[in-house]
Amino acid sequence: MTRVALRTAVTVLTIPALTLIAAPSAVAADATPYRAQVFTQGYDTSKVATLTFDLDWRTGTVDQIAASRANLDTVLRVFAANGITGGFGMTGRFAEQNPAEARNIAAQGHKIINHSWSHPDFMTLTQAQRWSQLDRTEAAFRAAGVSSAGWFRAPYRSGYTNAALNRDLALRGFYINADWTFDTTGYQGADWATVSGRIDRFLKPGAIVVMHVSIPSSDPGNLQQIIDKIKGQGYAFVSPFQAVTRGPIRTAYLTAGGPSSLGAATTGPMQATTAGTEVQWFQKGRLYYSAATGAHAVRGAILTKYRALGTAGSFLRYPTAGERPGAGGGWYSTFQGGSIYWSSATGAHEVHGAIRTRWLALGGEAGYLGYPRSDEKAVSVGRAVQFQRGNVYWNSTDGAHEVRGGILTRYLALGGTGSRLGPPTSDEYTVTVGRRSDFRHGSLIWNSTTGAITVVYR
């Protein structure tokens, strides 16, 4: 058997042979929100506004349904013509009865908001009834192929600041209560003078404007005038996606591609660990910020591992860069205290400290050892990480060293760091007869001609 063949053959044997002692995982620093955060306006202090519509038409005459559908077409056409991304507070019964329309709204990039199933006053409902309204709506959204991402808007604006209501929302996974700054009152069929006067009175930086689609609302017919008047007052428009973000996290979100990359925010900004730090959850990841590191996204399987370790409250602390491609189709993210690497063959695992330093010096995931197959764990002497084609061991006396191939197989069979040989004191290196690894109390020597491995004690 050639040297290459032997090293390939023993790889499978090295994996189950390393017995590791699991360390307790840390508690996540960025905990699940206790209550939904109410957004009566966006975070902007500059002159921008966000436009939203509420949407709930029920049974009616053929002409009434046709008129409401025409109103929706008008709203979408005017939004598109002006390059505006809006929000739609949609009831579940609308989505169930009009799935194609719901999909079209989402496909045009607008934000869908859970506006209950049947538009009841939530302050008259029990917790169970509130949850039923939310759940039934989400089921209709899923069937239509859209998502609220945990955004809710209270029918009639009833109880929108009520602590118990916002706690009930959070307990059901709704962490954003998408309120509004002012209503045009177009749902009452208000004339343009009335709507215009309300804009003059209530428009302010970060304002969220609510309008209505269904007849007899005058909002669809007035929408271009509304947009022109707001622009005439020196305002621009931001999407609901952007309105609930701020500061460095907003910058990182938009730079990454916004909703096309990370999806919608599923929480408002939250303190991550200490004052001055921040985290915000999104559909496809989380963005973390500290003054020392800036704002960076963690996502996918790497985020799952990061969460299991305790996120920013763990030894890894904050990400120092976004996720980057690794060798052979893998990915990795770097943190203040180490890295997390992922490949389809190994899953996601962390590497840190002296073991990470040694592994990187040996080529990291692109080197012979490949990707990590375990997190760093305690062994009988020191610490170890298991890689695809070998292990790296560390202790405070001998430092960090790799052991691999047939030498690793024999070493593990003898008992690893707990054996008479003790922990490694060298990496594997070339000798006259083949390859050798040294240990605290001896050596293992592989003969390239015979394939035999000799144990030498001292």
Tokens linked to 322: 């976004």
**Burial environment of residue 409 by CB neighbours within 10 A (0 to 12, 13 to 18, 19 or more):** buried
Angstrom distance (rounded) from CA 48 to CA 53: 17
Angstrom distance (rounded) from CA 51 to CA 76: 12
Tell me what pLDDT residue 64 has: 80
Residue that wins the pLDDT comparison between 4 and 458: 458
Q: Using CA of residue 92, residue 98, residue 104, residue 105, what is the dihedral sign? A: negative
pLDDT digit string (tens) for 372-420? 999 999 999 999 999 999 999 999 999 999 999 999 999 999 999 999 9
Q: Quick one: DSSP state of residue 21?
A: B
Tell me what pLDDT residue 26 has: 38
Tell me what pLDDT residue 59 has: 60
pLDDT digit string (tens) for 1-43? 333 333 333 333 333 333 333 333 333 468 999 999 999 999 9
Residues 269 and 295: beta-carbon distance below 8 Å: no
Q: Quick one: DSSP state of residue 28?
A: P
pLDDT digit string (tens) for 59-104? 667 778 888 999 999 999 999 999 999 999 999 999 999 999 999 9
The percentage of residues in the chain with a pLDDT greater than 70, rounded to a whole number, is 93
Count of H-run helices and E-run strands, the chain: 14, 24
Task: Look over the chain and give the mean of its residue pLDDT values, rounded to a whole number.
Answer: 93
Residues 17 and 386: beta-carbon distance below 8 Å: no
The structural domains of the chain, ordered by start, are: 37-238 (3.20.20.370)
Q: Lowest-confidence range among 56-60, 102-106, 253-257, 327-331?
A: 56-60
